Structure 1
Amino acid sequence: MTSVRFGLAIDQATNDLFLETDGNLATVSDAEAVGQHVRQRLSTFTGEWFLDTTSGVPWLDQILGKAYDPALAESVVKAEILNTDGVTEITSFSVSFDKATRGLIIRSIEVGTMFDAEVQV
């Protein structure tokens, strides 16, 4: 397993890099970097990244493109989380399905990390 120790910070509202007040790129490290990596993995659709078309969550094929199966959705999302470098366990997990928008809403997810710290995803 590769350890996630450091990375550039991603603004959760815009999904973009941002600058600190001193003008330097914002960074994350250790448990916070693991949590950010989980968020990035859950935001990627299978086949979206041209360098590895197998990476990502099969949102359309298995979760949102068919009749909603809560057990299947939960197992697919949890598997993606647990396959993230640095994640040791899922300590809290709450998702729901919005019929009006046909979307899976991630209410809250917390994971334990290899840094002996929990982080909210």
Structure 2
Amino acid sequence: MALLGPDLALDPLTGDLAMSGGTFYLQTSPRQAVSIAIRFFVGEWFLDRERGVPYYEQVFVKSPNLQHVAALLRAAILAVPGIGELTQFTFQLVGRILRVTWAATTDAGEIGPVVEEVGL
């Protein structure tokens, strides 16, 4: 799932739009693109309902297939432009919270480890 162009910069702690003095900034970092890819639910984008991670259908279900969940998340991360390989990847699924820890090599060097949370 290649993401399109730069995104509005997000605060890495809150996930809110980052702004300074009333100005929004654009961001092209692979770290933010991975964060967006991990948090992107299938059906969320009106221009392509097939893009994203099928959280409702395959992750946040009773007795999910954890190997399949790992494959879905790895694929979402590796599809981000600029990500070379995952050097660390773990996840925990507790109730309605998914915590993903990842690190990767990029064209510009190493990223991570980074912890991302997705919840319902």
TM range (shorter): 0.7 to 0.9
- Aligned residue among 43, 46, 52 for 2:48: 52
Q: Please name the residue that 1:71 is paired with.
A: 67
Moved over 6 A (4+): 2-5
More strand by share: 2
Matching residue's letter, 2:11: D
Q: In the TM superposition, what is the alpha-carbon distance from 1:78 to its structure 2 partner? A: 0.3
Bigger CA drift: 8-17 or 74-83? 8-17
Q: Percent identity?
A: 29
RMSD of equivalent CA atoms: 2.4
Determine helix, strand or coil for the equivalent of 2:67. Answer: helix
Residues of 1 paired with 2:12 and 2:62: CA distance? 28
Query: 1:25 maps to what in 2?
Result: 24
> For the residues of structure 1 that align with 2:3 and 2:47, how far apart are their CA atoms?
21
- Alignment match, 2:79: 83
Unaligned 5+ residue runs, structure 2? 115-120
Aligned to 2:11: 11
**Higher relative contact order (CA closer than 8 Å, sequence separation 6+):** 1
Separation of aligned partners in 2, 1:50 and 1:4 = 14
Size of the aligned set, in residue pairs, is 112
Q: Evaluate the alpha carbon distance shift between residue 3 and residue 83 of structure 1 in structure 2; reply closer, same or farther with a 3 A threshold.
A: closer
Q: Which amino acid counterpart does residue 59 of structure 2 have in structure 1?
A: I
Q: TM-score by structure 2 length?
A: 0.77
Alignment CA distance shift 1:15-1:91 (3 Å): same
Structure 1, unpaired ranges of 5+: none
User: Residues of 1 paired with 2:4 and 2:54: CA distance?
Assistant: 24
SS of residue matched to 1:38: helix
